[in-house]
Amino acid sequence: MSANKRYGMSIDIDKCNGCGACMMACAVENNIPPAPEAANDRRGVTWIRVYKVDNHLAYPERRTAFVPVLCQQCGHDTPCVHVCPQQAVDVDPETGIVGQMPERCLGCRYCMVACPYHARYFNWWDPKWPAGMEKTLNPDVAPRMRGVVEKCNFCHGRWHAAQQKAAAAGQREIDAADYVPACVEACPTGALRFGDLSDSSTEVAQDAQRPESFRLLEKIGTEPKIHYRSRRDWVREIASAPRPEGKDGLRG
């Protein structure tokens, strides 16, 4: 590979209709099992979660929006990396992707506490699928065991597949069309885009520079690689200075 990448995503909140296709595609692609009956919002596993938020005004001024939240792929002082005692979390210098290695994870959940975006999940149960469904699992992604933390990794299995395809063709660079995360591919409204933020010619890099672009909790300085967009002022205000828990819809 001739140059390091800085993979990121842009999400147009004004286009997101809250359908949940991204969540379903993510679960299928990354072998996330159906939630057990005992699971709840805090004990379930989903690598991407769509939150519903509103402007807290009375009808007819009431407005709502949907905000997909996944690992923000922090680019500076990545909190989860600093607190992990097992070195189970790292930032890949070739891609900028924050990786999670379940083989090293001891389940202390320090990373979950450190993550300001609530984008990490603990496996409380052994992975289990209804009879017959195990035949549909993605062979390129290993299921995670009980007792470890997991999160979005930009569909790492697809990244490896793109690398293998490029190598077989004698190419050093992968074709950008060969590496698209499942959530981006599944979005029916085109609200999600993915690409190399360090390449100014990509749509995602251009989206990041738009005046309506913002990042979640940008003031804390983690420099996320997930860039959101909205022309609505109240949406951007929630991202920069969230209301107390239970009022902004992004927590809990």
Per-residue pLDDT tens for 122-135?
A: 999 999 999 999 99
Q: What is the largest CA-CA distance in the chain?
A: 60
7-240 is classed in which CATH architecture? 2-Layer Sandwich (3.30)
The predicted structure's pLDDT at residue 165 = 96
The mean of the pLDDT values for the chain is: 93
Q: Is residue 251's pLDDT more than 60?
A: no
CA angle 23, 8, 188 (to 5 degrees): 40
Question: Which helix (H) or strand (E) element contains residue 11?
Answer: strand 7-12
Q: Measured between alpha carbons, how far is 154 from 175 in angstroms, rounded to an integer?
A: 16
- Candidates 197, 187, 179, 243; CA nearest to 66 is 187
Q: Are 205 and 198 in contact (CB under 8 A)?
A: yes
Query: Other CB atoms closer than 10 Å to residue 219's CB: what's the count?
Result: 8
Q: What tens digit of pLDDT does each residue of 207-249 get?
A: 999 999 999 999 999 999 999 999 999 999 988 765 554 444 4
Q: What tens digit of pLDDT does each residue of 71-122 get?
A: 999 998 899 999 999 999 999 999 999 999 999 999 999 999 999 999 999 9
Residues of the chain with pLDDT > 70, as a percent, come to 94
Domain boundaries, the chain: 7-240
The predicted structure's pLDDT at residue 209 = 96
The predicted structure's pLDDT at residue 239 = 84
Q: Kindly indicate the confidence band of residue 250, based on its pLDDT and cuts at 50, 70 and 90.
A: low
pTM above 0.75, yes or no: yes
Q: Kindly indicate the confidence band of residue 1, based on its pLDDT and cuts at 50, 70 and 90.
A: very low
